[in-house]
């Protein structure tokens, strides 16, 4: 439907003829740069003017006429969607990198064949489940605090008159997948030792299992329920901070958030295991 990807697709088809200039044509590269620039300027506007996104304002800032933007995005809502997807991806990467900083030894031959011993001796163990939850939690918060308007875009109140299309769903899951993985690994390793005695009702089981499948973990329903509760708290805590509910309440925001995360890892039954 949209013609955005056509240039790239076409470029791929002619890639073998142009050896020097790599795959994409000049036009395609300029187009990609322009598209990125539009998104960048749009984000600047979100940050500056509050959260109303205006095509005309973006065009003005780029020294173009507003109608020119329609060469890149078929409508304002499509631009919004692009920003939302980028935000989810950016947050997802931050979360994934924080978790990836924990090395692989102790796990089975997981990733590719590159099983050579870690080059950084101080790399934390992947079996330090509580440490991983803390690291990922802090990474998510740091991202949100650094980009509060992008955070509001994806975790704030729905935008009037806009409904996110289905293709926002996979990126939206990335941060959740990272958190879910930690709990799943913990359960696989030691069964989530101090599991609470509150088991979800049988009625909730099918959907909890479905969620675990969807996030590509194999945590049991009770573990999934506790994981979702802890994740709900995590984003709730960040929303409280980013949306201003901690103003004049806590000065040491990181310290307070850190305490909450630690408290919730205890709730989850995650243990340190170095």
Partner DNA sequence: TGTACATCAGTGAACGCGCGTTCACTGATGTAC
Q: Which of 196, 213, 216, 218 binds a second copy (CB under 8 A)?
A: 196
Q: Which span sits near DNA by CB under 7 A: 74-82, 129-137, 196-204, 211-219?
A: 74-82
Of 68 and 195, nearer to DNA (C-beta) is: 68
Q: Which of 36, 47, 65, 188 binds DNA (CB under 7 A)?
A: 65
248 vs 241: CA distance, rounded Å? 11
Of 76 and 181, nearer to DNA (C-beta) is: 76
Return the one option of DNA, a second copy, none that residue 255 interacts with (CB less than 5 to 8 A, by type): a second copy
Of 21 and 199, nearer to a second copy (C-beta) is: 199
Classify burial at 204, counting beta carbons within 10 Å of its beta carbon; exposed 0-12, middle 13-18, buried 19 or more. Answer: middle
Q: Which of 26, 112, 121, 202 binds DNA (CB under 7 A)?
A: 26
Residues sharing a CB contact under 8 Å with residue 208, sequence separation 6 or more, in sequence order: 200, 221, 224, 225, 228
Can you say whether residue 266 is alpha, beta or left, with left for phi > 0 and alpha for psi between -120 and 50 degrees?
alpha
218 vs 65: CA distance, rounded Å? 52
> Could you say whether residue 68 binds DNA (CB under 7 A)?
yes
Instruction: Report the nearest approach of DNA to the CB of residue 29 (Å).
Output: 8
Question: What end-to-end distance do the CA atoms of the chain give, in Å?
Answer: 52
Q: What number of residues does the chain have?
A: 274
Of 2 and 197, nearer to a second copy (C-beta) is: 197
Q: Which of 27, 105, 218, 245 binds DNA (CB under 7 A)?
A: 27
Q: Which of 127, 134, 225, 271 binds a second copy (CB under 8 A)?
A: 225
Q: Which of 8, 10, 164, 239 binds DNA (CB under 7 A)?
A: 10
> Could you say whether residue 173 binds a second copy (CB under 8 A)?
no
Answer whether 11's CB lies under 8 Å from 25's CB. Answer: yes
Chain center to CA of 39: 18
For 52-85, b/e burial (b = at least 16 CB within 10 A) is ebebebbbebbeeeeeebeebbeebbebbbbbbb
Which of 237, 219, 61, 72 is closest to 140 using CA atoms?
Answer: 237
> Could you say whether residue 233 binds a second copy (CB under 8 A)?
yes
Q: Which span sits near DNA by CB under 7 A: 5-13, 128-136, 188-196, 216-224?
A: 5-13
59 vs 68: CA distance, rounded Å? 8
**Could you list the residues that contact a second copy (CB under 8 A)?**
49-52, 152, 155-161, 196-198, 200-201, 203-204, 207, 211, 225-226, 228-229, 232-237, 239-240, 243-244, 249-252, 255-256, 259-260, 262-264, 266-267
């Amino acid at each position: 439907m949209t013609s955005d990807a056509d240039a790239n697709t076409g470029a791929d088809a002619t890639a073998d003829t142009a050896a020097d200039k790599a795959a994409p044509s000049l036009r395609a590269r300029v187009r990609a740069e322009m598209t990125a620039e539009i998104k960048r300027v749009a984000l600047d506007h979100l940050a500056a003017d509050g959260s109303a996104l205006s095509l005309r304002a973006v065009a003005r800032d780029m020294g173009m006429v507003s109608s020119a933007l329609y060469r890149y995005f078929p409508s304002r809502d499509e631009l919004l969607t692009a920003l939302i997807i980028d935000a989810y991806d950016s947050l997802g990467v931050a979360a994934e990198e924080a978790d990836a900083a924990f090395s692989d030894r102790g796990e089975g031959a997981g990733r590719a064949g590159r099983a050579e011993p870690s080059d950084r001796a101080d790399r934390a163990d992947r079996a330090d489940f509580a440490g991983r939850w803390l690291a990922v939690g802090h990474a998510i918060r740091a991202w949100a605090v650094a980009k509060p308007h992008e955070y509001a875009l994806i975790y704030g109140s729905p935008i009037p008159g806009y409904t996110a299309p289905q293709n926002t769903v996979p990126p939206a899951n990335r941060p959740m997948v990272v958190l879910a993985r930690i709990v799943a690994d913990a359960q696989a390793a030691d069964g989530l030792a101090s599991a609470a005695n509150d088991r979800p009702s049988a009625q909730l089981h099918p959907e909890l299992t479905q969620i675990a499948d969807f996030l590509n973990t194999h945590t049991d329903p009770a573990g999934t329920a506790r994981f979702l509760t802890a994740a709900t708290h995590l984003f709730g805590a960040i929303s409280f901070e980013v949306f201003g509910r901690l103003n004049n309440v806590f000065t040491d925001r990181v310290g307070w958030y850190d305490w909450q995360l630690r408290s919730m890892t205890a709730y989850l039954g995650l243990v340190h295991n170095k």
